[in-house]
Chain A
Amino acid sequence: MADPAVLAVAEHRRGELREISLELLTAGRELADAIGGELHVAVVSGDVEAHADSLNREGVDAIHTVAVGEEFDHSVYQGAVEALVDAHDPTTLLLPNSVNGLDYAPAVAESLGVPLVTDAIDVAYDDALTVTREQYGSKVETTIEVDGDRFAITIRGGEWPAATGAGEATIESFDAAVDPGESGARVQGYEEVGDGDVDIADADVLVSVGRGIEEEENLELIFDLAEAMGATVSSSRPIVDNGWLPKNRQVGQSGKVVTPDVYLAVGISGAVQHVAGMKGAETIIAVNTDPNAPIFDIADYGIVGDLFEIVPELIDDFE
């Protein structure tokens, strides 16, 4: 087996391979082609055999299974990835920019002494690695050139298509000599949060409210609109962080994924974490004062204006 150009590390949770794992394969193949070399994939903990079968897609050259532990444990992941790097000497480590990815990728990069670029939305290699990412709340994109012979990159979910097609990868078990019992951070369990009386995932029409509402008292306006329209109220993260609405109303990466017929986003800028939860809506409508707000990039209809002027008119119209 030749040395890999890219080693991508899959992510799974509670028995399910996460979608970003297949996106990593697409990004990994692109980069391996640019660098010139193989794409290897590691899957650590859990039912590694089953996950390896799912990861065996077109373009993958080898899959390394590390059968230690059941669920994500950052010290096991760190130990396994470092041992794989020692054994196979990849040029690039490609990891998910997920909550768990960010719980071990920086430690791996630090420990190996390789430069780390997180939250990549594009990568390219032409004698040197360049990574595209967003800054200032998605208002600008930057390209970053990385100086070095080895790199670690975490990629944003949803930016690359999932790899498809059956692969012909060799699947080998890898003994990483890591012991979950030695971890100084021990997972005690999981809890679903935010199940309440209202299930926003079931609603056909959502009126969703964000930071633009300014004050808790103003939420009344949104509830009035939802009532007039026969809709359910949901929100972006800051509203829940402020304690103005319960967690079960939150749409987004850390909240719920919703797919209503109509999603009316009021005073929501459209941060990538929010969009991850609602981009599957059939029709997206945005009301926002900032014409450059990212929400307009995915909206079907938009009004650039002050919600405090638009919403009362809309309520009047429906009443």
Chain B
Amino acid sequence: MKVLVTVKEVAEVGDDFAIEGTEIAESDLEYDLNEWDDYAIEAGVRLAEDGIADEVVALTIGPERSEETIRMALAKGADRAVRVWDDAIAEAFLDVDTKVDLLEAVVDEEDPDLVLTGVQAADDAFGATGVALADRIGFEHAAVVNDLDLDADAGVANVRRELEGGVEELTEVDVPAVLTVQTGINEPRYASLRGIRQAQRKEIATKDLADIGLSPDDVEGALTVTNMYEPESESDAEIIEGDPGEAAGRLAEVLREKGVDA
């Protein structure tokens, strides 16, 4: 069985940042592996370690900089990686449909049995790509999976889906399938030094739009960001000032007024 794990380099914003037009200033962004995708990688690598997956391929849409991120996936045990990028992609706002166009092209080439994605990306938080991809490529799917038991012989994935309010749904999903992976499904490993060294030797195949049979017109999405701003705080919180001792003392008074006392 071949497992394809989609991985995204996400932009993170510190406490202080500037907005330039409809984007955050590049100098205020830091890049990291999307947290949810880290769990998806771990799920894929465990399938390989359990002898269920023969190959785990990491797939990303991202500029050259994101090779650092995809090497994390390789260092943790993915066998090889595919990176899709093009100057035309850099200029577009990648909506769900466009991402699916790009991913579908690679899925056609790779022909995986199982696709694992993070539930959402920490930066744009659309949470939709995995399920939309499943519909496009004719795979079954399950969203927000926090437990996976794959029965390859029976061709089913037994999953738990984490619903709201502490309820889990137990579902049997036919494979091939796309599963969107929730944090907490496993404990992602740290990349070992040996893994990091090995990752340097693993293949990252780079593909532009022409390589996957698409044109710049295909990445023109339907969504345009027209404004970006910091939300106004609706806070009427009383901020307790002072050094830690003073602030804690005042907080203790407040707590006692509210009836807190051991």
A residues near B (Cβ < 8 Å) are 13, 72, 74, 78, 97-100, 102-107, 109-111, 113, 115-119, 130, 133-148, 184-194, 204-205, 227-231, 237-238, 240-243, 247, 250, 253-257, 261-262, 264, 282-283, 285-287, 290-292, 296-306, 309-311, 313-314, 316-318
Contact = CB atoms under 8 A, between A and B. Distances in A.
Given A13-B163, A107-B141, A187 B230 contact: no
Interface of B: 11-13, 15, 17, 19, 22, 24, 95-97, 100, 119, 122-132, 134-136, 140-144, 158, 160-174, 177, 183-184, 187, 221-231, 233-235, 237-240, 244-245, 247-249, 251-252, 254-255, 258-262
B235 A298 contact: yes
B68 to A, nearest CB: 20
B240 A243 contact: no
A65 to B, nearest CB: 23
Contacts of B240: 301-303
Contact of B131 (A104, A115, A291, A301): A104
Contacts of B100: 110
Given A300-B237, A310-B248, A188 B172 contact: yes
Contact of B22 (A115, A142, A204): A142
Contact of A135 (B125, B141, B187): B125
A24 B123 CA distance: 25
Nearest to A130: B226
Most buried by A among B130, B174, B231: B231
A136 B252 contact: no
A238 B252 CA distance: 27
A292 B239 CA distance: 12
A240 to B, nearest CB: 7
A192 B167 contact: yes
A140 B21 CA distance: 13
A165 B160 CA distance: 38
A140 B217 CA distance: 29
13 contacts: A102-B128, A103-B161, A107-B131, A109-B132, A118-B127, A146-B222, A148-B222, A184-B173, A189-B169, A247-B166, A262-B258, A292-B15, A299-B235
B61 to A, nearest CB: 17
Contact of B169 (A117, A187, A255, A256): A187
B235 A185 contact: no
Contacts of B132: 106-107, 109-110, 116
B248 A140 contact: no
Contact of A241 (B96, B135, B184): B184
B127 A102 contact: yes
B244 A254 contact: no
Contact of B161 (A99, A143, A231, A311): A99
A140 B166 contact: no
A52 B140 CA distance: 30
Most buried by B among A136, A138, A286: A136
Contacts of A230: 260-262
B257 to A, nearest CB: 9
A191 to B, nearest CB: 5
Most buried by B among A103, A130, A146: A103
A100 B161 CA distance: 9
Contact of B251 (A227, A261, A314): A314
Contacts of A98: 164
B141 A185 contact: yes
Most buried by B among A74, A110, A145, A230: A110
Contacts of B261: 229-230, 318
A302 B225 contact: no
Rank and list the top 10 A-B pairs by shortest CB-CB distance, nearest first: A313-B248, A230-B262, A106-B128, A115-B222, A309-B244, A106-B132, A107-B135, A184-B140, A106-B131, A103-B143
Given A110-B96, A140-B230, A300-B238, 10 more contacts: A74-B141, A137-B13, A144-B226, A184-B140, A184-B174, A185-B172, A229-B260, A230-B261, A296-B239, A306-B244
Contacts of A142: 22, 225, 227-228
A119 B261 CA distance: 41
Given A253-B164, A262-B255, A286-B237, A227 B226 contact: no
A313 B244 contact: yes
Contacts of A317: 248-249, 252
Contact of A310 (B166, B226, B234, B244): B244
A147 B226 CA distance: 12
Most buried by A among B22, B164, B187, B258: B164
A207 to B, nearest CB: 10
Contacts of B163: 13, 99-100, 190, 254
A283 B236 CA distance: 12
A133 B127 CA distance: 13
Contacts of B259: 204, 261-262
A116 B128 contact: yes
Contacts of B22: 142
A302 B135 contact: no
A71 to B, nearest CB: 8
